Amino acid sequence: MADSEVMPPSAVPPPPPPSGPHDRVRDNATALAELAEDYHRLQMSADPLLATYYGLDVHRDRLPDLTEAGRGRVRDDTAALRHRVGRIDPSGLSPTEETSRVMLLRLMGDDLAALDGRWSARSVDDFAFAPSAELLYHLGRTQVLDDGHGHAHVRRLAAVGAFLDGALEEHRRAVADRMTPTARGVAEAVERVRRVAVTPAGTSPLLAPLSDRGPLVREQAANAYREVVVPALHRYADGLQRDVAPSARPDDRAGLCWTDDGAEVYGAMLSHFTTLDRPDPAGIHQQGLAIVAALQEEIAEAGQRLLGLSDPAAITERLLNDPSLDYADPSEIVPHAQAICDRAAEAAGAVIGRLPTTPCIVKPVPEDETGAGAAFYDPPTPARPHGIYWVNIVDPRLHRYEAEATAFHEAAPGHHTQLGLQAELDLPAFRRIGTFLSGYGEGWGLYTERLADELGWYSGDLDRLGMLATDMMRACRLVLDTGLHHHGWSRQQAIEWFTAHAPLSAELIVSEVDRYIVYPGQACSYMLGRLEIQRLRAEATRQLGGRFDLSGFHDTILGEGAVPLAALQPMVDRWVDSRAQPTVAQASAQAGGGGG
């Protein structure tokens, strides 16, 4: 319309009605839902390997951009999105919406801390945040369901050179800024990368996902492997050896506290994994010592009853060296674990109201990953409607007497119950897919080991002693993680202390300590998460008395999926309030004088 034109009064639309409080609340909820979806897209775009791991058909041909420019773009997008979430008025949001708002702020705050602290650049090892470890883990586990996926996998292989070259340049920058990795971690990364690089295409685990695809896709993948992947792996290993290893920290300076910004970075990692605000490493250390002392008494009592031994060293020696207490053959491990999982899944309905519809299947750890831990879990995906509980049988570290506690933790009622159910909940995508909060998830897993004891699920005293042994390992983690990264323990000091306090094999103790060194903070999440769930349960029991319902409590803890530990308190408070109020029928009965 030209500036000189005037609409006749009859053509002028009436003004919109003034927006009321309800409209503003719905506008807030709609905006939050849109921002939640934006964050999910940002997550999957920033880490395409994670998107593929969760079975999403996005970015299958891409790899993360680990360069300084790539990190800067993700940081800018994350900061802008977090600012927009922070402007949303929480008043009037539903409890689930408010939890999503709090989680978005928390998760993006953690993302910014990781980007600013350059966690990936300073991680050179065969575990956790390390770029090469992430790459090798995910490439060999990609689910390739059709030729479209196959061609995308080929393009991803062709991108490995740029990925590793970018990672190496960031490692060099980190070293120049005195963000040094450990010498042992660098050596392990170099060894693993070189071992993969000399593997022929025909037997490479990186091409295994294409085994069922057509000859053209397999040939293209083999060419990309030989022409791009293998040279890139050699360049990366050579660069680590030449430019990073000389500045790496020795075993007597294994912890983050030996780096210039170590206290700040360790605090951020500890907060990230536990989801606690401003956790106190010194306090956690003392808390761990107290729990270890209490567990020593439990183990001594159980050892006396079962073995006629109360001395911790004697109990450990018997558990580790008596062949009658262990598997006769590694082939027994998987069927035994599956039987435990099936039994637990059937029994879980008595104490958890809503369970996942997907089963959990036990599989042996692939041969190229036998350096991994004794057991771990992968959740269901859209392309794979079951969870997988992986157990290590080539390099077995799982003893028969630990099998039940470990299966309860990894499968039912532990990780599979929690993560399988989470995928089925009516929640924003970022809460169903791609978010594992260690304080909550590992806390729940460890909680279920003790829950199984309460319910009488352990087959006998030996299996219960195995539960106490795994419990002791998690308690020791509080001491070891903070000892290494806050108090400055050496690797050898950590190994010796662990050996003196936990009924575990020397091989497992060494591998666990090496894990804590390169994965700061995560080890504390198990026990701290369990303690919070137990505290909430005890508080609810005290408040409700006879109205307390264990199944209802568990449904409350599981009903919103993974959340920061602090978010559990208002959830449980609402449940307690609902249980404390008499139902209509109860109120009517009370008004009428009740029964005889």
- Reported as a single tens digit per residue, the pLDDT across 40-87 is 999 999 999 999 999 999 999 999 999 999 999 999 999 999 999 999
What angle in degrees, to the nearest 10, is found between the helix axes of 147-158 and 215-224? 10
| Cross-strand pairs, 377 | 389
In a domain, 347, yes or no: yes
User: Quick one: pLDDT band at residue 255, thresholds 50, 70, 90?
Assistant: very high
Q: Which residue has the higher pLDDT, 417 or 10?
A: 417
In this prediction, residue 3 carries a pLDDT of 38
DSSP string for residues in 132-186? HHHHHHHHTT----SHHHHHHHHHHHHTHHHHHHHHHHHHHHHHHTT---BHHHH
Q: Which of 481, 497, 527 is the last residue of a domain?
A: 527
User: Quick one: pLDDT band at residue 15, thresholds 50, 70, 90?
Assistant: low
Query: What pairing do the DSSP bridges indicate for beta strands 360-364 and 387-391?
Result: parallel
105-124 exposure pattern, b = at least 16 Cβ within 10 A, e = fewer: ebbbebbbbbbebbbbbbbb
- How high does pLDDT run on average in the chain? 92
What are the φ/ψ torsions at residue 387 (nearest 5 degrees)?
A: -85, 160
- Joined together, the tokens standing for residue 451 give 């829950």
Residues 198 and 344 in one domain: no
Distance of alpha carbon 421 from alpha carbon 65, whole angstroms: 32
Distance of alpha carbon 172 from alpha carbon 121, whole angstroms: 8
In a domain, 9, yes or no: no
In this prediction, residue 253 carries a pLDDT of 98
Q: Which residue has the higher pLDDT, 311 or 591?
A: 311
Residues 308 and 359 in one domain: yes
What angle in degrees, to the nearest 10, is found between the helix axes of 312-321 and 281-307? 70
pLDDT > 80? residue 398: no
In this prediction, residue 384 carries a pLDDT of 87
In this prediction, residue 366 carries a pLDDT of 81
Read off the pLDDT of each residue in 477-505 and give the average, rounded to a whole number: 98
In a domain, 1, yes or no: no
Residues 443 and 353 in one domain: yes
147-172 exposure pattern, b = at least 16 Cβ within 10 A, e = fewer: eebbbbbbebbbbbbebbbbbbbbbb
In a domain, 591, yes or no: no
Residues 43 and 141 in one domain: yes
User: Quick one: pLDDT band at residue 1, thresholds 50, 70, 90?
Assistant: very low
Q: Which of 218, 252, 286 is the last residue of a domain?
A: 252
Least confident of 6-20, 427-441, 467-481, 529-543: 6-20
In this prediction, residue 371 carries a pLDDT of 59
In a domain, 257, yes or no: no
Distance of alpha carbon 518 from alpha carbon 495, whole angstroms: 15
Residues 237 and 280 in one domain: no
pLDDT > 60? residue 117: yes
| Cross-strand pairs, 387 | 360
User: Quick one: pLDDT band at residue 553, thresholds 50, 70, 90?
Assistant: very high
Q: For residue range 192-240, what is the model confidence (pLDDT) as tens digits?
A: 999 999 999 999 999 999 999 999 999 999 999 999 999 999 999 999 9
Residues 147 and 35 in one domain: yes
- Joined together, the tokens standing for residue 476 give 């020791």
Q: Could you identify the residue written with the tokens 């290893």?
A: 245
Distance of alpha carbon 446 from alpha carbon 527, whole angstroms: 7
**Over pLDDT 70: what percentage of the chain?**
91
Q: For residue range 154-188, what is the model confidence (pLDDT) as tens digits?
A: 999 999 999 999 999 999 999 999 999 999 999 99
Residues 65 and 54 in one domain: yes
User: Quick one: pLDDT band at residue 394, thresholds 50, 70, 90?
Assistant: confident
252-270 exposure pattern, b = at least 16 Cβ within 10 A, e = fewer: ebbbbbbbeebeebbbbbb
Considering only CA atoms, which of 567, 562, 486 is closest in space to residue 523? 486
In a domain, 220, yes or no: yes
Q: For residue range 272-301, what is the model confidence (pLDDT) as tens digits?
A: 999 999 999 999 999 999 999 999 999 999
In a domain, 258, yes or no: no
User: Quick one: pLDDT band at residue 11, thresholds 50, 70, 90?
Assistant: very low
466, 472, 474, 480 alpha-carbon torsion, rounded to 10°: -140
| Cross-strand pairs, 363 | 390
Residues 441 and 548 in one domain: no
Supply the range of the domain harboring residue 547: 529-583
In this prediction, residue 471 carries a pLDDT of 98
pLDDT > 90? residue 485: yes
DSSP 383: T
Q: Provide the terminal-to-terminal Cα distance of the chain, rounded to the nearest Å.
A: 82
- Tally of CB atoms within 10 A around 290: 12
| Cross-strand pairs, 249 | 182
Q: Which of 226, 252, 278 is the last residue of a domain?
A: 252
515, 516, 519, 522 alpha-carbon torsion, rounded to 10°: 120
pLDDT > 60? residue 370: no
Residues 506 and 552 in one domain: no
Q: For residue range 138-159, what is the model confidence (pLDDT) as tens digits?
A: 999 899 999 999 999 999 999 9
In this prediction, residue 8 carries a pLDDT of 38
Residues 209 and 317 in one domain: no
User: Quick one: pLDDT band at residue 393, thresholds 50, 70, 90?
Assistant: confident
User: Quick one: pLDDT band at residue 374, thresholds 50, 70, 90?
Assistant: confident
Coil, strand, or helix at residue 401? Answer: helix
Residues 140 and 276 in one domain: no
* Full-model pTM: 0.92
Q: How many domains does the chain have?
A: 3
Contacts of 178 (CB under 8 A, 6+ apart): 259, 260
Length of the chain: 596
Q: Which residue has the higher pLDDT, 581 or 471?
A: 471
Residues 85 and 63 in one domain: yes
